[in-house]
Amino acid sequence: MLAPWPVIIEEARLPPDPPPMPPEEAVQVADSVTRRRVEFATGRLCARRALARLGIDAFILRNDARRAPQWPPGIVGSLTHTGDVPGGYCAVAVARADTTLTIGLDAEKADGLPVHLWRFVLTTAERAWLGAQDAERRGLLAKVIFSAKESFYKAQFPLTGQMVGFHDVEVDLDIPRGAFAMRVAGAPALGPGVGCWTGRFCLDEELVRTAVVVSR
CATH code reported for the domain at 1-98: 3.90.470.20
**pLDDT score of 90 more than 80:** yes
From the options 2.60.40.10, 1.10.260.40, 3.40.50.880, 3.90.470.20, give the CATH code of 99-216. Answer: 3.90.470.20
Q: What is the CA radius of gyration of the chain?
A: 17
Closest by Cα among 63, 81, 97 to 18: 81
Q: How many CB atoms lie within 10 A of CB 148?
A: 29
d(CA 102, CA 216): 9
Burial of 28 (0-12, 13-18, 19+ CB in 10 A): middle
Q: What is the DSSP letter of 62?
A: -
Model pLDDT for residues 15-52, shown as the tens digit of each residue: 999 999 999 999 999 999 999 999 999 999 999 999 99
Report pLDDT for 176.
Answer: 96
Model pLDDT for residues 193-212, shown as the tens digit of each residue: 455 689 999 999 999 999 99
Please state the domain extents for the chain.
1-98, 99-216
Report pLDDT for 91.
Answer: 98
State pTM to two decimals.
Answer: 0.94
Report pLDDT for 66.
Answer: 86
Q: Are 149 and 197 in contact (CB under 8 A)?
A: no
